[in-house]
Amino acid sequence: MDVRRWRLVSFSIFILWPVSIMAQLNPYQVEFHWGQLPNERKMGVVTGVQPDPDGKHIWILERCSANQCAGSDLPPIHKIDLESNTVKSIGAGLFAWPHGFDMDEEGNLWVTEGAPAGDRRGQAGHELGLGHQVIKLNQDGEVLLRLGEAGVPGDDSSHFNGPAAVVVAPSGDIWVADGHRGGNNRVMKFSSDGTFIFQLGGGVNQSSMEAGSFNDPHDLKIDSSGRVFVADRGNNRIQIFNQQGELLDIWTQFGRPSGIWIDANERIYVADGMSGPQWNTGWERGIRIGDVGTGYVTEFIPDFEMPAASGIEFLATDVNGNIYAGQVGHQRFEKYIRTRP
């Protein structure tokens, strides 16, 4: 059969029997509440997930048992074993409204402060002189590097306005999505010592649908070939760039992307926690999984709960293909267990 005809027939079947096909596309079972914090603490809003290189632990970033860390003495970064037990917690007093989370090749942790100027969620931290930074720390909680000026927003090369995400390339170069809703709508690149290299898009309130520009760039990931994937959430698309900042492709098949994860097998996982009538009519919320080379969506985990706020926004996988995800609207941390290959 001709490939083009086969694709047309497959599409027609999907339209005629969506429930049956969708069931086949979801090979996961969910555990809604996963991860036990120290002293029976309540799980805060989880805004980042990173698997430890040892394959036996998951690191998470949560907002101090609430949706806010300003004024709290609780540590927001936790190392959790695969049996769901916290074995280490760090970072108390460093952050106000932590948002983006990454682990570099050396095992250092990177956290962004995601509340832009004027955002009520960041006000408490801004009054304390916190926010608008990207912070690098080791696994003992020692601060190794700060980018941006604490508590001071800006749109030049040395300031941020609520940076939403950070990812560190194998070379050590640092990519930052700056910033969160109402922020600078740009992606910046720095050298490993924090020297500014270039930016893509940008400017306060300069949201744009133009190719290579952004509206609420919310997450960043890099694949094995060095391509940079930007969750251009406000534009309902993923934009892909090379390390020189040249636009390579634009994908719209993953819904309204809040979070991206790319595993060692070149599978891409995209958290769409905002589709639906309010932001992206005609699309379902959930997790879309596909091939990072072709962009084909091969699996879908639907989110039928539809909280008034966002759903799943941040996610990662372990070595067994299980997914760990931060469910923002319900303030919980979830594990999706893979039940078949």
DSSP string of 320-336? TS-EEEEETTTTEEEEE
Strands 228-232 and 237-241 come out as antiparallel
Block residue for tokens 């599978």: 267
Domains in the chain, please, with CATH?
A: 30-338 (2.120.10.30)
d(CA 16, CA 39) in angstroms, rounded, equals: 51
d(CA 277, CA 94): 37
Amino acid at 193: D
pTM, rounded to two decimals: 0.92
Tokens at residue 167, please? 């990812």
- For residues 285 and 269, is the Cβ–Cβ distance under 8 A? no
pLDDT in tens, the chain (341 residues): 333 333 333 333 333 334 444 445 799 999 999 999 999 999 999 999 999 999 999 999 999 999 999 999 999 999 999 999 999 999 999 999 999 999 999 999 999 999 999 999 999 999 999 999 999 999 999 999 999 999 999 999 999 999 999 999 999 999 999 989 889 999 999 999 999 999 999 865 678 999 999 999 999 999 999 999 999 999 999 999 999 999 999 999 999 999 999 999 999 999 999 999 889 999 999 999 999 999 999 999 999 887 667 899 999 999 999 999 999 999 999 999 999 87
